Structure 1
């Protein structure tokens, strides 16, 4: 997890296209400047970054389902719940599944666990559009390799 670059997913553990599910892991850094202010003497992961972690997890699932031809963008957060604190150094397991697909949008449900304990969950809506430019597509290809996205799922020209 590189908080300063919004790279919140470390690796894809499981991607099941047929069931439309994904599981990823993210190691919260032990030390990061974000914890200096959130909160002094009691560092916890900001809820907005937990939501972003669930959104990125869902995004990788959607990229796979759309065969890397369209880019998902977070459009709405519904029913986000912080059920417990996430501390520096903890390993997050994040699951997401598609619950609805429409014309140009998708809805996912995502959950964050530390061990067996549910720490956060949310229903997320995404719009998706063709990749707006080659630079973004190239960036996503590079990140896909870093997180262990199945390369056979990425069409190459």
Structure 2
């Protein structure tokens, strides 16, 4: 995780476009200023950042399914549950599945785990729009390369 740049996932472990599923990993930093206030003596990853990590994971899945033709923007968070604490230094594994895509929206169901222990889950809805600026597309292509996005996912059949 690079919290200072709001990059909350580190690498794509698996992207299965046929099953519309993605698995990513996020190494929670052992030390970061965010933990100084959340909470002194008991540092934990804020739930809002766990939700954002789930949203970013879902976003990469949607980008793959849509072959980078449209950009997903988080629109609705439903059924978000923080089921346990995620501590500094832990490895968070996030799995997302695309449940629906159409009419300008996409819906995913997402779970975050540390080891086998479920820590968070949500149903997320995204609005889909053409890339609003060419610079954003260039940025997303660079980030895709950085986190190991499989190139075959963005090539057209």
Query: Which residue is 2:28 aligned to?
Result: 28
Q: Any gaps of 5 or more consecutive residues in structure 1?
A: none
3-state SS of paired residue (2:18): coil
Aligned residue pair count: 156
Task: Verify the 8 A CA contact 1:68 1:155 in the aligned structure 2.
Answer: no
Q: CA deviation at 1:45?
A: 0.1
| 8 Å CA contact 1:12, 1:147 repeated in 2 | yes
Note the 1:17-56 alignment, pairs <5 A: 17-56=17-56
SS at match of 1:7: coil
Look up the SS of the partner of 1:138 in the other structure. helix
Asked whether the 8 Å contact 1:12–1:149 carries over to 2, the reply is yes
Q: Match of 1:69?
A: 69
For the residue of structure 2 that corresponds to 1:49, the secondary structure is helix
Q: Give the drift of 1:154.
A: 2.5
Within 1, Cα distance between the matches of 2:132 and 2:155?
Answer: 17
1:139 paired residue number: 139
1:62 and 1:3 mapped to 2: Cα distance?
22
SS in 2 for 1:152: helix
Secondary structure of 1:61's partner? helix
Task: State the distance in 2 between where 1:114 and 1:149 align.
Answer: 22
In structure 2, the partner of 1:127 is 127
SS in structure 2 at match of 1:18: coil
2:135 is the counterpart of 1:109: no
Q: Give the TM-score of the pair, scaled to structure 2.
A: 0.97
Q: 1:20-61 CA distances to partner (integer Å, 9 max, x unpaired)?
A: 000000000000000001001110000000000000000000
